[in-house]
A and B are shown apart, each in its own frame.
Chain A
């Protein structure tokens, strides 16, 4: 819970990791990829405030104590959703597998949720594994990373026929939240790998599932917005927007948030810190303190209210994951007095 100016916020971090990218976990012969991957993540950390930067060695493998301190003690997080990314072509035991994440969940069962994953290229054994994972970890969500390399293939799409088999399996198993992350490689390689068209089609054909597009489709935020505005079951995951822009590119941050609020709307945007790329503390505090500037440049963007922020910081994710929100942290009659005041200010402006 985070409290600011008498307002209390229930904070759900919809996108975080507990990874091991240390050299001991690099696959022999693939070291350049394992090293390049984590160094690239580490570069992104450099987009946050300098006092939050870590040395690369700590960044490659941080401890449970680091996690508990950064997320729960300092980071204001009430509930965290640990996303699983395997990358086993490069990391021997996986980058952050459901198994590794689940060890953390066992220690904090009331605070953490683990999401599984699937890769349609794994076929029948993959379906079986998903079934086992769903039972073992009580999965309500999965993360899919379409740019993962697998036995000579450099990616896949949600419209691949095999992918639909996995989406059907998700429905059967009670997994309703699909967190999709687009990456730079996909088959065939001549197509724009960041295009979100396949998520659009999958969302239309599977209305009983929710599709949370991580990093709001960056670097194709325009494709994402045009799609999300038409699809009731497509959500925006804010990871990278806050971490990558709020400090380093504040003007772009205002505009990207303005576009998201306009096209996608405050009911379909979910906070995610992307920890350990960025610590949650400065992101939570900064986002709740953030205001759309009252200048001409931003005049036709929606201005966020306290209600907007309460929804984005936790209430929207709580709905998708059936997380019980303490009564005092729920919205009172759709909005608090402060929020109404904010709304009037905007309307009269």
Chain B
């Protein structure tokens, strides 16, 4: 097992709140692979107060994707410099779920409801970006609403939409409507403009939060990462 393969696997772990891979966000601060195949990954979030439930999801997902790799022995995931790091690290070490980390403080052991809520937000956000591109390109709301998945260009947003639809159990065949509500219902042409107004706000929320995280990582943690948005900020 090589370090590169572990990092590749970690790229499949997304920050649920931002819908971006943890490797792109600079959350993976070290990754060691021993000659015996033991893997140790250290994660650090922008602030020690980042929400414990999302922190747990990322750490647990990281453990899962690394354990799936062939020729891996012991897997240790450590969340560093976090208010609830001790509880989370101990639970992961025991192979426990969220309830094991915070007994008495939670009921949802695998955080399924929280995860689903944010997958939906992510889907709406990605769709809004694709929709805007089509409208800017001159398509009418009727034409946009009639698009099927197979009509979408092969761009990262479209690929991620497909992945999110699979995760949510929504239709993902090439002939399925390209723009759907989180319920799976297609967005109607007459509703498209109104839908876009709300969908765009959801996307802005994800993007602004990602922007604030990146700014904090730079000023607080000294981490330099790719920044899709402009940034005037320099310390």
**Do B233 and A47 touch across chains, with their CB atoms under 8 A apart?**
yes
The interface-forming segment of B2-10, B35-43, B176-184, B196-204 is: B196-204
A242 to B235, CA, bound (A): 18
Number of interchain pairs (Cβ within 8 Å): 128
Give the contacts of B158-217 with A (CB-CB under 8 A). 198, 201-202, 204-205, 207-209, 211-212, 215-216
B98: chain A residues within 8 A (beta carbon): 189-190
**Do B198 and A256 touch across chains, with their CB atoms under 8 A apart?**
no
**Using an 8 Å CB-CB cutoff, how does the interface string of A184-214 with B read, 1 for contact, 0 for none?**
1101111111100000000000000000000
A248: chain B residues within 8 A (beta carbon): 211, 215, 231-233
A247 to B83, CA, bound (A): 29
A287 to B204, CA, bound (A): 20
**Using an 8 Å CB-CB cutoff, how does the interface string of B11-31 with A read, 1 for contact, 0 for none?**
000000100000000000000
B25 to chain A, nearest CB (A): 14
A245: chain B residues within 8 A (beta carbon): 208, 211-212
A259: chain B residues within 8 A (beta carbon): 201, 204
Give the residue among B50, B106, B113 with the most A Cβ atoms within 10 A. Answer: B106
A44: chain B residues within 8 A (beta carbon): 216
Which listed residue, A39, A187, A244, A247, touches B105 by the CB 8 Å rule?
A: A187
A252 to chain B, nearest CB (A): 5
B139 at the interface (CB under 8 A from A): no
A36 at the interface (CB under 8 A from B): yes
B225 at the interface (CB under 8 A from A): no
**Do B49 and A251 touch across chains, with their CB atoms under 8 A apart?**
no
B121: chain A residues within 8 A (beta carbon): 222
A315 to chain B, nearest CB (A): 26
Of all chain B residues, the one with the shortest Cβ separation from A44 is B216
A86 to chain B, nearest CB (A): 16
**Do B211 and A40 touch across chains, with their CB atoms under 8 A apart?**
no
**Using an 8 Å CB-CB cutoff, how does the interface string of A215-243 with B read, 1 for contact, 0 for none?**
00011111001100000000000000000
B224 to chain A, nearest CB (A): 14
A246 to B121, CA, bound (A): 25
**Do A43 and B219 touch across chains, with their CB atoms under 8 A apart?**
yes
A160 to chain B, nearest CB (A): 15
**Do B208 and A256 touch across chains, with their CB atoms under 8 A apart?**
yes
A249: chain B residues within 8 A (beta carbon): 208, 211-212, 215, 229-231, 233
- How big is chain A's contact interface, by range? 35 or more
A181 to B57, CA, bound (A): 24
A263 at the interface (CB under 8 A from B): yes
A244 to B220, CA, bound (A): 14
Which listed residue, A193, A221, A244, A263, touches B51 by the CB 8 Å rule?
A: A193
- How big is chain B's contact interface, by range? 35 or more
A33 at the interface (CB under 8 A from B): yes
Contacts A46-B220, A189-B106, A255-B204; is A250 near B232 (CB within 8 Å)?
A: yes
A108 at the interface (CB under 8 A from B): no
B34 at the interface (CB under 8 A from A): no
A161 at the interface (CB under 8 A from B): no
Of all chain A residues, the one with the shortest Cβ separation from B220 is A43
B50 to chain A, nearest CB (A): 6
B212: chain A residues within 8 A (beta carbon): 47, 218-219, 244-245, 249
B95 at the interface (CB under 8 A from A): no
A94 to B48, CA, bound (A): 20
**Do B48 and A46 touch across chains, with their CB atoms under 8 A apart?**
no
Contacts A40-B49, A184-B50, A226-B198; is A190 near B113 (CB within 8 Å)?
A: yes
Contacts A44-B216, A221-B205; is A189 near B102 (CB within 8 Å)?
A: yes
B48: chain A residues within 8 A (beta carbon): 36, 40
A220 to chain B, nearest CB (A): 7
A37 at the interface (CB under 8 A from B): yes
**Using an 8 Å CB-CB cutoff, how does the interface string of B44-65 with A read, 1 for contact, 0 for none?**
0001111111000000000000
A193: chain B residues within 8 A (beta carbon): 51, 53
- Taking Cβ atoms with an 8 Å cutoff, the residues of A that contact B are 33, 36-37, 39-40, 43-44, 46-47, 50, 53, 154, 183-185, 187-194, 218-222, 225-226, 244-245, 247-252, 255-256, 259, 263
Nearest 9 pairs of A and B residues by beta carbon: A46-B219, A43-B220, A190-B108, A36-B48, A184-B51, A248-B233, A189-B106, A222-B205, A219-B209
